[in-house]
């Protein structure tokens, strides 16, 4: 019995130690800033937006470089409204997106798969008529060349069918009338989260970012 208690105790201490190392690393690495590229023209307006947990990259729906609505179609939303001007996209665990409308609905199996990279991923796309800057939504001006890199980064995150088209996930789990879900590449884990995806997108287009972050806080501290 004493041996069992000892093993259990060591296991618990080991788990606490791992969690502590993870949280300390997350804090430290998110405070290290990757600086933005200098001397670029301010030609395209993008945004970063958070719901308090999850960071989205927000892009104009149509420019002469990219028309996102050709693939991320208005008709895939319940409203099918074609008058929107901005598209917010976030990458994340498919189970969280589709099976966890609130934290109270979180299943142990979903959390375990998400933490360990065992489940698939999705891109959540939401249309907006306009963007309003506040503490949860930051405007960033980038060059056309930088935007081309961001386009490639986001586009490469979509999983596509044999004809090269993005794959809409048919579901009733939409958050509202202006959003839809799409199949994505990659695996979600403690080390590759929705926020680390958005952070990598900022790096891809030469903007201020964290060296690495699991949470939205580190990203938005760079834009205070």
pLDDT digits (tens, 9 = 90+) for 99-122: 875 655 656 666 667 667 677 899
In a domain, 36, yes or no: yes
In a domain, 188, yes or no: yes
Burial class of residue 38, CB neighbours in 10 A (0-12, 13-18, 19+): exposed
Is pLDDT of 219 > 60? yes
In a domain, 17, yes or no: no
Name which of 111, 115, 91, 90 is nearest 100 in CA terms. Answer: 111
Question: Given the structure tokens 């695996």, which residue do they identify?
Answer: 187
Domain count, the chain: 1
> What's the pLDDT band for 15 if we cut at 50, 70, 90?
low
Question: Given the structure tokens 């104009």, which residue do they identify?
Answer: 60
Over residues 199-211, the pLDDT tens digits come to 999 999 999 999 9
Beta bridge partners of 49: 56, 137
In a domain, 162, yes or no: yes
Alpha helices (H) in the chain, listed in sequence order: 2-31, 94-99, 108-116, 144-157, 194-204, 216-221
Handedness of CA 210, 23, 183, 54 (dihedral sign): negative
pTM for the model: 0.89
Over residues 21-80, the pLDDT tens digits come to 778 978 999 999 999 999 999 999 999 999 999 999 999 999 999 999 999 999 999 999
In a domain, 131, yes or no: yes
Q: Which domain holds residue 149?
A: 32-221
Mean pLDDT over each residue of the chain, to the nearest integer:
90
In a domain, 16, yes or no: no
Q: Any idea which of 7-11, 123-127, 142-146, 154-158 has the lowest mean pLDDT?
A: 7-11
In a domain, 60, yes or no: yes
């Amino acid at each position: 019995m004493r041996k069992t208690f000892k093993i259990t105790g060591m296991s618990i201490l080991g788990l606490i130690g791992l969690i502590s190392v993870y949280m300390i690393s997350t804090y430290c690495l998110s405070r290290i800033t990757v600086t933005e590229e200098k001397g670029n023209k301010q030609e395209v307006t993008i945004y970063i937006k958070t719901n308090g947990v999850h960071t989205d990259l927000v892009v104009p729906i149509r420019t002469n470089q990219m028309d996102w609505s050709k693939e991320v179609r208005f008709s895939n939303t319940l409203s099918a409204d074609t008058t929107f001007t901005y598209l917010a996209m976030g990458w994340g665990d498919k189970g969280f997106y589709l099976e966890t409308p609130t934290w109270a609905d979180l299943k142990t199996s979903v959390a375990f798969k998400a933490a360990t990279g065992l489940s698939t991923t999705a891109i959540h796309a939401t249309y907006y008529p306009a963007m309003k800057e506040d503490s949860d939504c930051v405007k960033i001006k980038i060059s056309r060349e930088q935007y081309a890199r961001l386009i490639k980064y986001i586009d490469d995150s979509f999983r596509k069918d044999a004809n090269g088209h993005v794959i809409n996930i048919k579901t009733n789990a939409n958050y509202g009338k202006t959003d839809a879900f799409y199949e994505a590449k990659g695996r979600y884990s403690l080390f590759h989260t929705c926020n680390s995806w958005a952070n990598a997108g900022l790096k891809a287009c030469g903007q201020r970012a964290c060296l690495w972050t699991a949470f939205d806080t580190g990203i938005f501290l760079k834009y205070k």
